[in-house]
Amino acid sequence: MGTSLVIVESPAKARTIGRYLGREVNVLASMGHVRDLPESSLGVDVAGGFQPVYVLTANGKRVIRGLTAAARAADHIYLATDPDREGEAIAWHLAEVLKPAARSALFHRVAFHEITQRAIRASFDHPGVISEPLVAAQQARRVIDRLVGYQVSPLLWRNVRKGTSAGRVQSVALRLVCEREREVQAFTPEEYWNLDARFRTGMPEAEFGTRLVLLDDRKPVVPDAETANALAGELETAAFAVAAVTATPRLQRPQPPFITSTLQQAGGNSLKLSTTQTMRLAQQLYEGVDVGSGGPVGLITYMRTDSVHVAPEAQKETLEFIGQTYGAEYLPSSPNRYRSRQSAQEAHEAIRPTDVRRTPESLAPHLTAPQLRLYRLIWNRFVASQMAPARQMDHVIDVRARGESLRHSYVFRASSRETLFPGFLRVYDLRETGEEEADGQNRVLPEVPVGVPCNLVDLEREQCFTSPPPRYSEAMLIKALEQNGVGRPSTYSPTVNTIQEREYVTKEKGRLIPTELGFQVNDYLVGHMPELFDVGFTAEMEAQLDRVEEGERDWREMLHGFYEQFRTWVQHDGMPPIPSAAEAVAFLRAFPPDLTWNPPVRRGRRTFDDAEFHHSLLNQLESGGKPLTERQWKALLGVAARYAPSCPAIRAAAEALGVTETVARMAAETVQAREGAPPQDAAPAAEDLRLLDALRGVAWRPPATRGRRTYDDARFYRSLRRHVDSGNRLSAAQTRSLERLLTAYADQIPDFDRLAADLGLARPGERAAATAAANDNGTGANGPDPIVIRLLAMAERIQEWAPPTQRGKQTYDDRVFVESLKRQFHTRGTLSERQVAALKSLMGRYAERIEGFEQDAAALGLTRIETKPKPVDARVPCPKCGSPLVQRRNRRNGKPFYGCSAFPKCRYLSNELPQPGKDAAAPNHPATES
């Protein structure tokens, strides 16, 4: 191996492996993927059998020169990437990139599940080749994810928010979180009561607590306090005796060793780690830590696995350790065997220590606190999985009520669990890891015979309410994904992390809660493409990828079946899905070179030239530029529709692309427009003129600027007038805008009531009230309209407004601000939440000038905001200049602070009042008052 090159993913892994291979072997790190699909284009040739188009990643560009130079000088190149799909793909990409430079070198694939000298030597002594099925499965997953993200995300940009994205697995995870949150929101707690009795026996003298478990020989249903009190009143006069005493032996068997999902769940439940933190620590333990033996050592096996298989030699060593450390009685009668789920790879191992003799205590001086906590969890779980089961005894005492006057039969029960032999529990306590709830069953019950009388010492009535289903934690979400077959070990943590990074989900007290954006994204995706983001369909896709990985199915065939379904799911507005670049080029080339193009058409300031559009689109696609956008695709179909009736070649190309019906429909619409038939969404000309004539002569308000846009009612009206006077008709959108303009200027239109009755319009106040009523009934937009009506009424009672203030380049005028809100509310019928909050704050500042403020404040939750400075005791002067201090209030958080009355000459500010007679230290500056 004198001229051998070994390539791994990370420098830490390279250091550990290099220690075992010696200095004569060159071990380098690729730092992850060196090639991937391009970021600026689809990167998948759909028409060419879904062939991916790979480019160097940013990381690849940094490392490839060094790797190429090393490969050129090597005789043997060993690709030692991780033993899973991603690792196999990285190895394949490295081989594809380095083969031209390393023409004479032989490529080998080595895979190991633990970084130990024994495993490294064994893998290098028997190298293999790259697994084509594994690479195919990874490519198929990557292509599917790219197709989904590249074609669905633009729909979210247009319909939800720019910058949002969809993912095949992440969107299903988001769906689970949103559906659970809606279950929580829709949950109605139901009241119920528990009856807990404490009894004392005389022979032998003992006392124990019980709970009512049977009422008339059925599970008790105590819905309210009245029922609980009635039952308690009857029980207080009853006699009691022990009706049954049982002791049932049981065996509690250990859990299997960790796999990726269960490690992430235990890390969250027991150690309070996020999935990202758990996997980062596990990666460090796997790649190697210096434990004082001359270099880094891999402490655990590979941490991305769904198999509970344990290597026979590791199991043998563990059983020997258990017998020597805990005794022969802690060994099982036969070695424990665990069954992995059907899709698991048995060639992989469970997550375990590479050497069970490295106990957590022996490694404590060498590991960080988080590393040690996770290693202890993994070590304890694995050792426990190889130990004997715990032998336990379940004890139950039933106490029955007796009495001739009783209308019901009552049975109270006390239960406990006694551990006779701890077995694996000596190492791994399920209650500590959150895998078993501490229910108090470990208490000791007295030994009492059947029939012994019991005296009622105390009877408690406990009011309870049913609880909603719990919100997902990261660990619970991963468990749900695993149970539903969604995702694989390598995707769990990135999926949970992605939905939080994109602000679709936030974490509060360890629980995942969808944001408003998360709900919007989920509702759009589920509403428009329910099949694509269905849990069952996603699980089926994972199963298909597993079949590809096992070599049972061709990856291109699987992608073709998926894409046929996918194309139908992403269709919107009757438009067929965007074709691939190759398909679009073939369609464009179907236009004959001698085609007679229509002359350019000028509309407003723009000129539409079919020939120029066709030429530029063909150049864009053939030069490898940006892919076809949805707007370009729709325009191209429109161009095809104009020429298809007279061009058989275009009709044939449309049929080959599957867009014949769309082109025919658009062609019919073109003919209809030429013949002068009115568009379906156009208003009759007479109504257009009537609407415009009604606004003739009104006094237009001055233009208003909102953000970067200027809204000029007069200019908008004149443009519509010219449009109609030219013989054109208004579109539905123009008609709606004109109706809103009529409503806004209703006070200046003499016959508005008659016009409104004919057209179904409403006056501004009526519109606002209607919107508010709709909101109250849950049928309108989510705006606080009744609150706004009351706030604006409060503003009407303000007789004197504060003068405008100048801050930088902006002027703040409270009166103008309120007037603008009034106009918007009268026009739209609602205000945004931010505007409502600003209006509430403004009313709080004008509390002294609003008659009856306290009554309105109580109803609306307003707070009186003090704006006048309060003088402080004159004995407390300003520490800087000696002038009296005044108390002010921070407008952002409402907290008081102290400032010099000589401001701005003296700029002393402090959150705390200085002590009289003492020089203040450096002032503790609060946030500015403004």
Residues with a catalytic annotation lie at 302
Beta strands (DSSP E) in 736-841 are 805-807, 810-812
DSSP 255-266: PPPB-HHHHHHH
* Nearest of 161, 214, 224, 218 to residue 191 by alpha carbon: 224
* HSE of 271, CA atoms in CB hemisphere, 13 A: 24
Q: How far is CA 488 from CA 140, 344, 484, 494, 561, in A?
A: 14, 10, 11, 11, 21
Q: Tokens in use for 426?
A: 């000596």
How do 191-201 and 106-109 pair as beta strands?
unpaired
∠ CA 91-97-99 to the nearest 5 degrees? 95
Burial class (CB in 10 A: 0-12, 13-18, 19+), 507: middle
Reduced 3-state DSSP string for 842-903: HHHHCHHHCCCHHHHHHHHCCCCCCCCCEECCCCCECCCCCCEEEEEECCCCCCEEEEECCC
Q: How many secondary structure helices (H) and strands (E) does the chain include? A: 31, 28
Q: How far apart are CA 351 and CA 354, in angstroms?
A: 9
CB atoms under 10 Å from CB of 309, counted, come to: 22
SS3 content of the chain, % helix, strand, coil (to 5): 45, 15, 40
Please tell me whether residue 623 adopts helix, strand or coil conformation: coil
Coil/strand/helix, residue 46: coil
Calculate helix-pair angle for 610-622, 630-643, nearest 10 degrees: 130
Nearest to 148 by CA among 538, 658, 582, 487: 538
Q: Do residues 408 and 233 make contact, with C-beta atoms less than 8 angstroms apart?
A: no
Rounded distance between C-alpha atoms, residue 200 and residue 198, angstroms = 7
Beta partners for residue 26, in sequence order: 5
